[in-house]
Amino acid sequence: MAPADPRVTRAADAELVERLRAADEDAVEQLVGRYGGLVYRVAVRITGTATDAEEVTWDVMQTVWQNIAGFRGDAALSSWIYRIAANAAYGKVRGRKAPTVPLEDALRRPDPPESSVAASTDWSDLCEDPAVRVELRAVLEEAIAELPADYRTVLVLRDVEGLPNAEVAEALGLSTAAVKSRTHRARLALRDRLAGFFNARSARRRPVHGAIRPP
């Protein structure tokens, strides 16, 4: 996993790690500037609230600084921070009682073939409308927020942040098979929500039978 800023090199991160180990106060500020936004982005998508995300970000930055001596450098610094952030955010919401929402119906279904996720109606024409894209983004954000925490966490790390299955599994203490299954089910739940959204939009575009069309 590349650093949050693509211009940041492994060498620059290695230098930052050494400065953190030397208790350089400016290095702590640089750590927050370089990775604070990444941690907050992951945290807010998993926890669903800005307040929780801010708390998680603060906790993660403290954890990184206090445990930097244990960072062995086997993986990129950003990957290590991702793992800490995912665990902290997931821990924040794990104890919450999951609300009963329609999306959970899709999560309870038996797993269909993965290819069926891609086999859906072509909605590309609707997506060309800027107003529809704005609505679609809101629908997606709401649907992700309504997923149970364990599915939402995996989906955010896998599909939003782009981590490989193996890294997500390591971060959350799951098997790779469990990560794949949860990601697949979460995608199906989102697809169901999108199907409802696009079907409703399509219905609005159909002419009413018997209506007089303008010349």
Confidence (pLDDT) at 116: 46
Sign of CA dihedral 62, 97, 49, 142: positive
Instruction: Using the predicted structure, report yes or no on whether residue 125 has a pLDDT greater than 60.
Output: no
Compute CA distances 135 → 44, 86, 93, 139, 197, whole Å: 20, 28, 27, 6, 9
**Phi and psi angles of residue 165, each rounded to the nearest 5 degrees, phi first:** -55, -40
* Residue 37 CB partners (closer than 8 Å, separation 6+): 4
pLDDT greater than 50 at residue 2:
no
- Decide if 3 is inside a domain: no
Looking at the fold, whether 31 and 124 belong to one and the same domain comes out as no
CA dist 67 to 19, 71, 137, 148, Å?
A: 13, 7, 37, 30
Task: State yes or no: pLDDT of 10 exceeds 60.
Answer: yes
Same domain, 76 and 119: no
Cα 156 to Cα 63: distance, rounded to the nearest angstrom:
21
Lowest mean pLDDT among 79-83, 118-122, 147-151: 118-122
pLDDT in tens, 31-60: 999 999 999 999 998 988 899 999 999 999
For residue 122 the two structure tokens come to: 């072509």
Taking the C-alpha atoms of residue 159 and residue 186, their distance in angstroms, rounded to an integer, is 10
Residues 84 and 33 in one domain: yes
Give the CATH number of the domain where residue 148 resides: 1.10.10.10
Average predicted confidence (pLDDT) for the chain: 78
pLDDT over 90 for what percent of the chain?
Answer: 32
Number of domains, the chain: 2
What pLDDT shows up at residue 106? 45
Structural domain contains residue 212: no
What range defines the domain where residue 173 resides?
Answer: 103-205
- Asked whether residue 107 falls in the same domain as residue 153, the answer is yes
Mean pLDDT of all residues in 118-142: 65
Assigned domain for 17 exists = yes
pLDDT of the residue at 207: 53
At 121, the amino acid letter reads T
Q: Is the pLDDT of residue 115 over 50?
A: no
Q: Is residue 4 part of a domain?
A: no
Whether 2 is in a domain gets the answer no
| Whether residue 51 is found in the same domain as residue 141 | no
